[in-house]
Each structure stands twice: as C-alpha cells, then as structure tokens.
C-alpha cells in the first residue's frame, strides 16, 4: 500500500472516529455515572474539583472529537471535489509553468474511492484538449499532467513535429518566438503555436533545433487515452510509454490559484 496523502487522511479519520465513538459508547457513560455517584454521596459537602475531574474528557478524546470532522471534510473535498497540485516540470509550457499551483476537478470523470481509486459513479469522460492529471502508468504513485490529444478509437500519428488525428492534420497557427520568463528575451529556435483540438484552442511550444520525434502511428485502445505535453520537444508522454488507462485518471485541471514567482498567473483559467 502506498501511504500517500489520501491513505494518511483515511487512517486519521478512522482512528479519530473510532476514539470518538468509543468515548460516546463506553467512556462517557462511565464518567457521567462517576459524577452522579459523587453528587449523591451522603454526609460530606460536594467536592467540585473531584466532580470536575471525574467528568473531564480525556485529552485524546478531546483531540479526536475536534479533528475528526475537519479530517472528514478535507478528505471529502480532496477525494471527490477539488484537489490542489503543484507543477514540478516544464513539460506543459507555455500553458503551465514550473511552480504553478493548480486546482483539479476530481469529479469531472467520475467519483472514485480514496486509496483504492475504484470508480463508483460515472459522470463524464475526457475530451480532446482536456488537461488531465493522472497516475503515471509506469509508477502509479507519481502524478503526471498532460493534454489529451487522442480518445478511444482515435488513430494518432505524429510525424515531423505535426499531429494527425484520424488522418487529419491538426490545425496550427504560428504566434511567434517563445519569450523566456527569466530573461524576457525571445529564445532562438523556440516557437509558440496555437493548436486546435476540437473546440479547444491552446498554445504549444516547438523547438526547431531539436530532432523531431517520429514513429507514432497507433489507434487508441478502448478505455485508454493518448496524452502529450504542450512543450512538445520536452515532454515524457504517450509517445514514449503508451496510453493512459481510464482507471489512472485523477481529474481535469482547470485553474491556477498561485505562483509565487509570477503573480500575474494567479487566477488564470487553464485551456
């Protein structure tokens, strides 16, 4: 079992919930009984300190009661609604930059149980152009983010830095040279294009000096997706290790909520 954040949160919810339940069923009634006996004691005046001590909730139970609802709320939000991620690499430049903190819609492609990732409710399926987070097929403990360019049944060809879907060349519009975030200067040989995938128009980065990756010519199998990085010459994606199983999908990226190095990117919708 991989002890990722979801696993830790499930265990924490289970432990704090059991402690709270055990107190409600067993320990709290015993405390109330002890308090009642002290108050009913004949002869001596009531000792308030002893009564308070007898009815006092143990620290462990107090913490469990306080943290259990918080843990459950966080677990529900992250497992079924929205989860934050941080972009660690430049494979999705120019759409996403290193250091972008993004939000991922966890229910866009169906609801899954935490830890086991088994889907229990189907809601939708990825479409061409979606930016998706998924568990890397070769190492499911690692999350990747790429763009869906091929859905089940699509015939995908990638030749001479051009993408073909079902025999049709995908439209590209040259925008201009890529301008470095660090220097603010155009990078020689790096060009930005606007690519159209269905209804989605997005930018990609192509480096003319790099050798083209050819040899992709396949039909996407049922229940799988062909994904690529927008930084086409610097992305470890389906061209190298194959398609992504539907079971590995985590969700659809839709919003940049923070980038400490570039505050202008905060609040950007992901296309």
Query: Which residues are annotated as catalytic?
Result: 91, 146
Spatial CA neighbour of 136 closest among 245, 3, 59: 245
Burial class (CB in 10 A: 0-12, 13-18, 19+), 181: middle
SS3 212: coil
* Of the candidates 202, 147, 181, the residue with the CA atom closest to the CA atom of residue 263: 181
CA 187 to chain centre: 31
Q: CA of 137: how far to CAs of 68, 143, 156, in Å?
A: 33, 9, 19
Q: Shortest CA distance to 163 belongs to which of 107, 238, 101, 69?
A: 238
Contacts of residue 103, defined as CB under 8 A and 6 or more positions apart, other chains included, come to: 82, 83, 84, 85, 253, 254, 255, 257
Quote the distance between the C-alpha of residue 144 and its chain's center: 9
Q: In this structure, what are the phi and psi dihedrals at residue 230, rounded to the nearest 5 degrees?
A: -70, -25
């Amino acid at each position: 079992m991989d002890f990722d954040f979801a696993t830790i949160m499930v265990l924490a919810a289970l432990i704090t919930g059991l402690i709270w339940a055990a107190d409600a069923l067993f320990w709290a009634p015993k405390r109330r009984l002890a308090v009642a006996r002290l108050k009913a004691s004949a002869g001596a005046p009531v000792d308030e300190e002893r009564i308070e001590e007898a009815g006092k909730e143990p620290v462990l139970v107090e913490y469990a009661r306080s943290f259990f609802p918080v843990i459950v709320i966080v677990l529900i939000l992250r497992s079924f609604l929205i989860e934050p991620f941080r972009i660690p690499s430049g494979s999705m430049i120019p759409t996403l930059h290193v250091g972008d903190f993004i939000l991922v819609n966890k229910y866009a492609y169906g609801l899954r149980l935490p830890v086991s990732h088994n889907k229990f409710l189907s809601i939708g399926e990825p479409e061409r152009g979606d930016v998706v987070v998924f568990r890397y097929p070769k190492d499911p403990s690692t999350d990747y983010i790429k763009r869906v360019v091929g859905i089940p049944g699509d015939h995908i060809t990638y030749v001479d830095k051009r993408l073909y879907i079902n025999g049709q060349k995908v439209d590209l519009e040259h925008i201009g040279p890529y301008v470095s975030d660090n220097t603010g200067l155009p990078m020689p040989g790096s060009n930005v294009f606007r690519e159209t995938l269905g209804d989605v128009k997005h930018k990609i980065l192509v480096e003319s000096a790099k050798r083209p990756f050819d040899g992709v010519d396949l039909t996407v199998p049922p229940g799988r997706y062909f994904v690529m990085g927008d930084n086409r010459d610097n992305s470890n994606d389906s061209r190298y290790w194959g398609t992504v199983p539907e079971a590995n999908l985590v969700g659809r990226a839709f919003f940049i909520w923070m980038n400490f190095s570039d505050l202008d990117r905060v609040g950007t919708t992901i296309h």
